[in-house]
Amino acid sequence: MFKKYTKIILVFMLVMGIGSMRVAADEQTDGSTDATFKISGAGKLPSGPVDPDHPNEWKNPEKGNSFALMNVPSTIDFGIGKIVAGTQKLTSTTINGNGSSAAGSAIQVGDLRADNPGWSLGAKLNSEDVNNIIITLKNTDVKNSFGNKVTLGENPITTNSDVNILSAAKNSGLGITTVKLTNNNFSLTLPAGQSKPTEKGQITIKWTLSANPNPSVTNMESVN
């Protein structure tokens, strides 16, 4: 009798143990937590041009501006032309920047404004030595640090009026937009009768950054 009773107790305990294991397996073992965030307010741009290949790695301190024409080339050299009767076209041989880095010779626009209204960069020539001259920016690409689409204008720069060089539509201008330049990215066209002897012809490119729909706010110059 004792042996049979013992067997019944053991079987009962085993069955109860299995039932307890099933309950434990069905218990909640994971969960989730929701988190929220908000980005507002204008950011601050660095104090000078940034590396065109690494535009999000700023090595210079912020200066407080949220929208700026950060850089244009300081000088452009078109070399030496010849005295000709017809039209003459020269290609830039050297583009000098503000500093020794590649960033110094680039065209850079920075925009960290919260409303993201878009912007445009225009250019116009000033010259007392030559009339009806044309400078064209060619064979370049545009990069935006946020991956936004910014349009590079193909209109030649003249002495008549500002022409569009870069433009960003509303909600497309945030980030640092860079036109990386090499020495032969500009061409200069002298009209017929203007290739006269001169020791040094002087031309100035006046760059104007406009915060659409606001009037132009920043001017910088490149001198040939």
Extract the tokens encoding 120.
Answer: 């445009």
Contact 183, 100 (CB under 8 A): no
Does residue 62 surpass a pLDDT of 80? no
Which residue ranges form the domains of the chain, and what is each CATH number? Answer: 68-223 (2.60.40)
Per residue in 121-131, pLDDT tens? 999 999 877 77
pLDDT the model gives residue 176 = 93
pLDDT the model gives residue 222 = 54
Does residue 11 surpass a pLDDT of 60? no
Among candidate residues 152, 163, 66, the one with its CA nearest the CA of residue 116: 66
Per residue in 169-222, pLDDT tens? 999 999 999 998 989 999 999 888 877 777 678 889 999 999 874 344 344 455
| Residue 177 burial (10 A CB sphere; 0-12, 13-18, 19+) | buried
Per residue in 84-128, pLDDT tens? 888 999 999 999 886 656 667 899 999 999 999 999 999 999 987
**142-144: strand order across its sheet:** 67-71, 107-111, 175-179, 142-144
Say what percent of the chain tops pLDDT 90: 39
| Full-model pTM | 0.77
